[in-house]
Structure 1
Amino acid sequence: MQSPFPARLKEARAIKGLTQLQLGLRLEMDANSASARMNQYEKGKHAPDYDTMKRMADELGVPVAYFFCETALDAQLIQQVSRLHEDAKNELLAQLIQNERSES
């Protein structure tokens, strides 16, 4: 199974309206290789290290976990949950646990 990372990266970059070069430059990659590096990441030929991935996520306004969501729905959920305040996250988690228990 292929990693969902390349498609999620491309999707997040497109949503932000950035070219591969623009994103690479924002990540302080060398101007001569930024576009090529981003292209290799989006094609799945190479994968960035975690620090680079974290900087990409921050620049694109998504959590790192977004890059590994297998479905579009999961990706949307991760984005929405990541934007919640900690109290709201805890409340949501408690509700989900309660729902799971009541369904068992």
Structure 2
Amino acid sequence: MPSQTDIRLVFRQRLRLARKELQLSQKELGIRTGLDAFVASTRINRYEQGVHEPDMPMIERLAAVLNIPTAYLLTADDRLARMILLFDRLSDSDKDRLLEMLESDSSQS
């Protein structure tokens, strides 16, 4: 089981990566999550540096603004994180088919 330190490090790395992929500044991300413009950049920087840890409602707002599942930010397993991102991009019908396939495969094991 991953340690809290591992999860915190992964959260910081994924937050920064997702922000940069959308080409958002720390300030812009902070403002879009509802932070005051005066503190937005500093707060996001502190999240990315691990100086402060956001609470769950803030993590959910960050994920929503970044258009990624919250679980992606919080799983320490890189393979699972990739699966979460890919699964999130599927249509509902494709998600259902994939789940059926996985459930079928796991019941045969």
Report TM bin, short chain.
0.7 to 0.9
Between 1:64-73 and 1:53-62, the stretch displaced more is 64-73
Within 1, Cα distance between the matches of 2:97 and 2:60? Answer: 26
Structure 2: which 5+ runs fail to align?
none
Q: TM-score, normalized by length of structure 1?
A: 0.86
Indicate which of 10, 14, 25 corresponds to 2:31. Answer: 25
> Which letter does structure 1 place at the counterpart of 2:30?
G
Report the counterpart of residue 74 of structure 1 in structure 2: 80
What do you get for the CA RMSD once the two structures are aligned? 1.5
Among all aligned residue pairs of Structure 1 and Structure 2, give the percentage whose two residues are the same amino acid.
Answer: 36
Output one character per residue of 1:21-50: Cα deviation in whole Å (capped at 9) or x when no partner: 111112221122111110111122222122
Structure 1: which 5+ runs fail to align?
none
Alignment length, in residue pairs?
103
Within 1, Cα distance between the matches of 2:100 and 2:62? Answer: 31
Relative to total residues, which structure has the larger helix share, 1 or 2?
A: 2
* Cα distance, 1:84 vs structure 2: 1.8
